[in-house]
Structure 1
Amino acid sequence: MDDHQTRDLVEELVHRLLSAGAGGARDEAGALKFAHRLLSSRLAPAVVPDEHALAEAIKRRLAASGRPDDALAFADLHSKLSVRSRPASLWPLLYLLDSLSSNRSAAAAASCLPYLPTAAPPRTTAATTGTGGRPGSRAPPGGVVLVSKDPDNIREIALREYTEQVLEETEVSEAALVRDVLYACQGIDGRYVRYDKAGDAYDLPDGVRVPRSTRTLVRKLCEIGWLFRKVRGFISDNISRSPSDAATEVGTVAQAFCSALQNELSDYYKLLAVLESHSLNPVPAPGSDSVVSGNYLSLRRLAVWLAEPAVRMRLMAVLVDGCRGLRGGAMAGAIHGHAQHGDPMFQEFMGRLLRRVCSPLFEMVRSWVLEGELDDVFAEFFIVGQPVKAESLWREGYLIQSDMLPAFISPVLAQRILRTGKSINFLRVCCDDNGWADAAAEAAAHVGTTTSRGGLGYGKIDALEALVVEAAKRIHRHLMDVIHKRYRFKDHCLAIKRYLLLGQGDFVQYLMDVVGPELSEPANRISSFHLAGLLETAIRASDAQYDDRDILDRIRVKMMEHGDGDRGWDVFSLEYDARVPLDTVFTASVMKMYLKVFNFLWKLKRVDHSLTGVWKTMKPSCIVSSPFYKEGTNIRTQFVSVLRKCQVLFNEMNHFVTNFQYYIMFEVLEVSWARFSDEMDAAKDLDDLLMAHDKYLTSILEKSLLGERSQGILRNLFALFDIILQFRSHADRWFERIYELQLRGKGKSKSKEADCGRRRSSCNLQARDHHKAKEWSSSGQVLALVPFMEAELPAALMKVGVFVLVQALVYLILAQSSTVFSRTKSLGLRPARSLSARRMLALLSDLPPGGEPSPVAATTTRSSSLVLAHPKED
């Protein structure tokens, strides 16, 4: 009791309590001395100083004793006292009041406190001799209950007895055990405590006689030594190697992890050095003053010292086991998983460790985002590069390894990091551009990060994301400027549309006229050089000559692989030379799809061109038919019937081809191009541009019936194209024979008139008979063609039923999409009219299982005008 104020307060209290007694100053001095001894003792209640628990206990006691109103009043007063100005702690006050309430019921004979005895109670013999007997005497009536009559405290007595018992059962001193435990904490065997390989632990041998509690405590303390061996072994396996081994097996993240563990072990070594210095001080005897304040080290004190280091060592051992066999981002992610803990000590320790471990990883991210450099010697980064050609650099050059992506970097952020670095490499390798450096420097300056090392680390994910977003925005914008302005991407796309997708009408017409005769020859006799010259002729003869020369030079003739029976029409195609960096978009697979579309459109144009040729042949019908009108009725009727069949068949074919061309050119190519153009202008990076182009090309393939789902319709469509070409061949041969007979008939007529003029008088009858015979002979040759046409044309007319059916199916496919009509209306065009659903169902019902239309269907098709009906008419 060094506090003078406390002494004065105690003296005032004793004086007031004894002022009513008759003991005088001598009794007051004895009571004051006894009070000082009580206050100076180390007696303490064996309870936890929990204010709320004590208040709840008081309320429960009041409620149990039948005083619920008092319990509510106590709760109200306690809550008011808690929120207002109050002592530093209410627990001592509540405990004192609770103790006084309990003592009041125990000392019912004591009516008031002033009857405190005037002298201290005498000591018992047992207490004085220190045998440990429990004090059993009470204060005389009218006094307070004494806690203890032993001046040395009963706890100290029990401690001395326990110490004497331990000394009798122990043959090893505690100082020796402490020293061995400290050795074990460093992974070193001591004199008594050694590492047991069978049990994989540090322990005392069975021959060493120590109390069970001491053995248990030693085993518990030596656990940190076992953990230390595990951590040190991991560091030794990864760091203490030759440089060649480390270069092939240990990455920079693993080295940083080992370095962080080594730093933690350095602090651990410092603690052990302090403990070893304390262990040199002797352990005092129980009961001495130095037991409390002495600078010695016992097993129990050692347990207190090693409590927190053991937690850290246990955590490091868990990390070592979890990271064994991992590298790079996978190791950083595994360590990050153990950082999700609510303990502040855990969070602080793991944060310090992860900042060291993730430093190489964040440096790789910074180098990739701002410089496009993939500095990953040990394959630790979550972005991996592949050795590919320049045209495949963007699509296949760099990928994300999901197993190397740590959890603290989201997949969305990882994709942004990947695209940013890819853009820099694409600009540098494919575009030969260095403007990205300025964009990266501007992005780093905008977010306050330098382009040099540092500035990023674990716990700064927001700063990393801000840097990536800003760098991606600036670098992608620069890349789009280079693609559109320097390499004119849109102009090349438009050139492909005009020349490969046959959008330049006059060029296609000139090309068809020029190369048509050449392509009718067998494919193995056609020279690609000659075709290239004809292509140049078609360019110069059309408006294509005014295009940029660089674009025109990229259009080339390509002859596909062909067999012995192939014609030039079957192998002829055009290709567009897309060079770096445009070949990133127009890859080999993409150009194959363009070639597929070109072949389809080229065949459609060829069919249209053939029908135009048929019309040119059939148009002067008056000249062709005039000689046969002079013949007999039978000949004239048969000739007119065949001619009408040809004209009706031509009309049906031409009607379908015209409508189908309209659909392809306007509803497919133009609508798809308009959508692609909008998406091209809105693209923010190269991935968006590639996606828009793939969508554009896929739309053309699907709507042109070239997709996988339309192969059946496409085969029928190609079969109909072949029928039209055969019709052109038959019509040409038929009219060629007719022209031949017409010219022969004119020559015979002139010869007859000249001969009859010379021999008018004598040969009239003979000439008239001869002319009659020749006319019948020519008519017979014409009639010989009629059975041929009547044998060929019905088969063609039968196939027209399939023709019309395919046309109806095509229309139904298109009618499912409302965008066709809306787009048509917006372009100011009138939708193509097709078969009504009723007539199409009639054709379907008449179609036999073999796939060919029935004669009824053929007759219906032949006799009808095949005017395409609008859906409203169904």
Structure 2
Amino acid sequence: MSTSRIPSGSTVPFTPKPRKGSSSAKLSLSQREINQIAGTLASVRKVRPDAIFEELEQSGDAATFLGYQPNGQSSRIPSDPRQAEEPPRPPRRTRPPEQPSTSASASAASSSRPMPSSSHQQITLEKEPYRHRNGKQPERTVQREVLVAPENADSIEEAGPARMLDGVPLEVQEAWICEDLLFVLQGVEGSLIRYDEGYDPLDEDQRLQGARWRVDPSLDPSLLSLVERLLPLASAFTSVEASMELRSAPEYGMVSHALCSGIRAMLKEYRVLTAQLESLFLQSPTFTLQTLYFHLHPTLHTMSLLSSLCLSLQADGVSQEASDVSDDDDGLGGMADELGLGGAGLKGLMKNLKAQEGLIGGGGPVLGGEVLGIICERENTMSGDPTASTLHSTLLLHSSQPYYRMVVRWITSGYLSDPFDEFMVKESGHITKGVLESDYTDEYWERRYTLRDGSSLASSPKVASAKATPSLSAGIPPPRPGTSRLPGGACIPAFLQPWKHKILLAGKYLNVIRECGIEVKRPGELEDTEGMVTMNEPKFYKRIEDAYIHANRTLLKLMVEEQELIPHLRSMKHWFFLDQSDFLTNFLDLATSELRKPAKAASLVKLQSLLDLAVRNPASSSSNDPYKDDLKVTMQSQGLYDWLMKIVSRTGSLIEDGELDFALDERADEDVASKKTDKEKTLLAIDALSFDYSVKFPLSLIISRKTITRYQLIFRFLLHLHHLEAALSSMWLEHKASIWRDHSGYDDMERWKSRIFSLRSRMLAFVRQVLAFATGEVLETNWRALEDKLAKVQTVDQLLRDHVDFLDTCLKQCMLTTSKLLGVYAKLMTTMSAFVSYQSSFNAALSKFLADPETESDPAKASQRWTVLTNFERHFNHHTKLHLDAVTYNAGSENVALLALN
């Protein structure tokens, strides 16, 4: 047995080397070997060397163990007097646990290779039976036997190392296996415990699963049972060591490195324990395998937990899915060679493409928030196990420190430092505040900083499913194969899930302030002396809340006081809600000829100049508005009701569950689709006319493109009503002319004219009733409620919510969000618009009748006049009744404000 594996400073029994060239089968020892053995035993027992020989003589083993000189004298007297004074000691064994020594390698080689064919080769065995400590018997005696190998080398090969413990006493086997276990527990092979034949220590996948061991079959079964109970500890240790070596690479991120640091601290305690056990093994005569098992049994559970954790941190499916893609798979069904496209380069390219498509890798390595999520999940799952709970809480504390620093730095300064994509918040650097005015869908507020899991404050299952398109969900990684866990930083630890939106918004607010050129103060900034902090405790949650409130109040003060948010909102109400419609009346009068053109033929430059003229008219109340230069004329590509009906027909309701936001996101796609229709009806400029409003950063976060679109919907609704009212009023002025007022002398014509007057009057009354309801009952009432809320608002997100809720409520109460109400109302508006546009036909029919009453009184021509009028009356009466029923139903169920229309 090799003696080079015992730590320095230890004294152990010495095994002499076999004497080469001896042909005698008789057991014998040289004088020097006897002296060395006696000196070693004396040193261990702290007695004189003569006491060793006396003990051997008393036990009767002197002739067998020591041998005699040919003259019959005992050879226990050393030939060198200096050896009697100080017994020689064997060389110290200093084999480190991590790397086998030369002698150990030789021993391992001798146990795996056939012995040389020399007939004089000797094999050394040692027996160390334990003796009770008393006055008569020694503590331990050692017997050495030098056996001469048989001349036939083949027999040695057949019955060599596999049976190397045959005939060895149980006490010696126990001492030998204890020594081997102390090395195996450090991941190093021993003499009796070797790597399993199917285990390759150079294979990374096998090392991550843990080493597999093979024990010498000749070991006593009673000892083998205990050894097999301890070998899982060695396997788990090698698994943890391999995982630590792997996860220490830079690409695994700071959280994994912190976790490795915590695990290494535990492994240090494990190594200290094994070192103490080795010292006890070398010093205590009563040390047994049971003692070793007693001390290591609690560690076995802890190490198995560590190994299980390390295995769970491996990306599920990485090795399996990668192995499923054969090296012979060229991505072309094996036809690459036939096409002349074979070669390793093509195969490597196909693997890279598949990896980018997510076919290989399953989301990349486990890092960042996913590491914390796995530890937290395991801690909750094993909460009933005190050891597991303590272990996982300790590792969670160590591994969460880099994540904690990222969170604190983000919520206190708005600075995002995440080089390995471990944090829950991601930044889209290509999105700047300039895109707020140039790009409709790319909004700074919503897409510059987002959560990696794709969630938002306004998200809902219905909207999330509707938004699950490649264009919008491309940045959200798919879950790990076989689990619902998102990979990497997209996985937010369970203890931070309720706080993720506040963490996101706190950093967002501070970034907005920094974009305005204002230095961000950092109250409660992270200090180096802070030490390790537990994240899943109320103290840390309070810190998040305080940072969120501070960022909210700072940004709110900036917007309300310095950027004059409230005056901007009042100005938008004035322009879009037509509080004082005198400027609109002047504009419509000036731009009548231009607004009668098709929308594509109308000149925006001319319309903008006419709008500026109407707004700056000194007689108009709008001339004193400080933000009148921000008002712009724009043309929409679709009619108001056509576009709303397309959206509502798909979703059923425009504002429930955030569908309006989704509809606004899809507006560009709808516009493109509408342009592709072959025969689309001509859209007049008056139906496509809308206003736009320019607002600078950071007010553009509150008055965003989506909120401006809501204002535009309300404005187009009111503009249509005003236009209809003006058209019906102009119709009334025409009906006051003598041609309509003078009696024609024909009762049928007079009834026909009176029916037109009645229908026009009913239409005008309906339009004025809806207009008065929208402006007085809806817009003005909700605006006063918004002003009250703005006076008490304390956070930016509350301001955002109140503003959007105000606009959504106005849209809902104006009957623009419910499919049934919108459908009936759109048909009514179409009927009235058609009736107004038919006024010229009515005038022509009346003129023809007055020019030739006899001919025009013909029943066929009279029936034609009455048919057109009757159709208008029937449609108006029918849709008016349907509208009243729909208003009554919605007023009683969900829209109480509509009661004013009953």
TM-score by length of 1: 0.61
Instruction: Tell me the percent identity.
Output: 22
Matched, 1:470 2:546: yes
Partner residue, 1:718: 829
Matched, 1:433 2:518: yes
Residue 183 of structure 1: how far off its partner (Å): 0.7
Residue 343 of structure 1: how far off its partner (Å): 5.5
Question: Is the CA contact (8 Å cut-off) linking 2:632 and 2:691 kept in structure 1?
Answer: yes
Q: The residue matched to 1:580 in structure 2 has which SS?
A: coil
Give the letter for the 1:373 counterpart.
Y
Residue 189 of structure 1: how far off its partner (Å): 1.0
Partner residue, 1:216: 225
Partner residue, 1:254: 256
Change (3 A) 1:307 1:643: closer
Which of 780, 790, 799 is residue 872 of structure 2 equivalent to? Answer: 799
Q: Where in structure 2 are the equivalents of 1:815-854 lying within 5 Å?
A: 815=888, 816-817=890-891, 831-832=900-901
Q: The residue matched to 2:718 in structure 1 has which SS?
A: helix
Residue 360 of structure 1: how far off its partner (Å): 0.6
CA distance in 2, matches of 1:800, 1:460: 70
CA distance in 2, matches of 1:458, 1:201: 38
Partner residue, 1:454: 530
Deviations 1:571-609 (A, max 9, x none): 333222233233334444444444343333222211110
Question: Is the CA contact (8 Å cut-off) linking 2:835 and 2:872 kept in structure 1?
Answer: no
Indicate the structure (1 or 2) with the bigger Cα radius of gyration. Answer: 1
Give the letter for the 1:254 counterpart.
S
Which of 657, 680, 690 is residue 573 of structure 1 equivalent to? Answer: 690
Which of 522, 542, 554 is residue 630 of structure 2 equivalent to? Answer: 554
Q: The residue matched to 1:573 in structure 2 has which SS?
A: strand
Change (3 A) 1:170 1:508: same
CA distance in 2, matches of 1:546, 1:478: 34
Change (3 A) 1:683 1:793: farther
Deviations 1:660-709 (A, max 9, x none): 22222223322333344444445443333333333333333333333351
Question: Is the CA contact (8 Å cut-off) linking 1:228 and 1:313 kept in structure 2?
Answer: yes
Residue 451 of structure 1: how far off its partner (Å): 5.6
Question: Is the CA contact (8 Å cut-off) linking 2:379 and 2:392 kept in structure 1?
Answer: yes
Give the letter for the 2:780 counterpart.
E
**Runs of 5+ unmatched residues, structure 2:** 1-132, 142-165, 200-210, 316-365, 437-442, 454-485, 639-679
Question: Is the CA contact (8 Å cut-off) linking 2:778 and 2:897 kept in structure 1?
Answer: no
CA distance in 2, matches of 1:656, 1:422: 48
Residue 733 of structure 1: how far off its partner (Å): 5.2
Q: The residue matched to 2:875 in structure 1 has which SS?
A: helix
Matched, 1:415 2:415: no
CA distance in 1, matches of 2:577, 2:240: 68
Partner residue, 2:418: 376
Partner residue, 2:246: 237
Q: The residue matched to 1:556 in structure 2 has which SS?
A: strand
Change (3 A) 1:521 1:725: same
Partner residue, 2:300: 310
Question: Is the CA contact (8 Å cut-off) linking 2:397 and 2:532 kept in structure 1?
Answer: no
Question: Is the CA contact (8 Å cut-off) linking 1:423 and 1:479 kept in structure 2?
Answer: yes
Change (3 A) 1:453 1:533: farther
CA distance in 1, matches of 2:894, 2:282: 95
Residue 234 of structure 1: how far off its partner (Å): 0.8
Q: Where in structure 2 are the equivalents of 1:775-814 lying within 5 Å?
A: 780-781=851-852, 791-792=864-865, 794-814=867-887
- Superposition CA RMSD, Å: 3.7
Q: The residue matched to 1:557 in structure 2 has which SS?
A: strand
CA distance in 1, matches of 2:853, 2:393: 102
Question: Is the CA contact (8 Å cut-off) linking 2:887 and 2:898 kept in structure 1?
Answer: no
Q: Where in structure 2 are the equivalents of 1:51-200 lying within 5 Å?
A: 170=170, 172-198=172-198
Q: The residue matched to 1:817 in structure 2 has which SS?
A: helix
CA distance in 2, matches of 1:679, 1:346: 51
CA distance in 1, matches of 2:290, 2:183: 17
Partner residue, 1:361: 403
Q: The residue matched to 1:222 in structure 2 has which SS?
A: helix
Deviations 1:173-221 (A, max 9, x none): 4322211110111111112222224485334211x3x321111112223
Residue 251 of structure 1: how far off its partner (Å): 0.8
Q: The residue matched to 1:701 in structure 2 has which SS?
A: helix
CA distance in 2, matches of 1:464, 1:783: 95
Matched, 1:399 2:475: no
Change (3 A) 1:455 1:397: farther
More displaced 10-residue stretch of structure 1: 785-794 or 370-379: 785-794
Question: Is the CA contact (8 Å cut-off) linking 2:256 and 2:399 kept in structure 1?
Answer: yes
Change (3 A) 1:796 1:591: farther
Question: Is the CA contact (8 Å cut-off) linking 1:524 and 1:564 kept in structure 2?
Answer: no
Partner residue, 1:658: 768
Partner residue, 1:492: 568
Partner residue, 2:620: 543
CA distance in 1, matches of 2:237, 2:196: 15
Matched, 1:702 2:812: yes
Matched, 1:507 2:574: no
CA distance in 1, matches of 2:804, 2:314: 44
CA distance in 2, matches of 1:606, 1:793: 27
Give the letter for the 2:755 counterpart.
K
CA distance in 2, matches of 1:264, 1:820: 62
Question: Is the CA contact (8 Å cut-off) linking 1:364 and 1:376 kept in structure 2?
Answer: yes
How many residues align? The count is 590
Normalized per residue, the structure richer in helix is: 1
Change (3 A) 1:610 1:327: same
Change (3 A) 1:375 1:821: closer
Change (3 A) 1:335 1:530: closer
Residue 538 of structure 1: how far off its partner (Å): 1.7
Question: Is the CA contact (8 Å cut-off) linking 1:394 and 1:584 kept in structure 2?
Answer: yes
Change (3 A) 1:225 1:397: same
TM-score by length of 2: 0.59
Question: Is the CA contact (8 Å cut-off) linking 1:511 and 1:538 kept in structure 2?
Answer: yes
CA distance in 2, matches of 1:197, 1:667: 87
Matched, 1:336 2:376: yes
Change (3 A) 1:309 1:581: same
**Runs of 5+ unmatched residues, structure 1:** 1-151, 161-165, 240-245, 284-290, 292-296, 739-777, 826-830, 835-874
Bigger relative CO (Cα 8 Å, ≥ 6 apart): 2
CA distance in 2, matches of 1:669, 1:789: 46
CA distance in 2, matches of 1:333, 1:527: 59
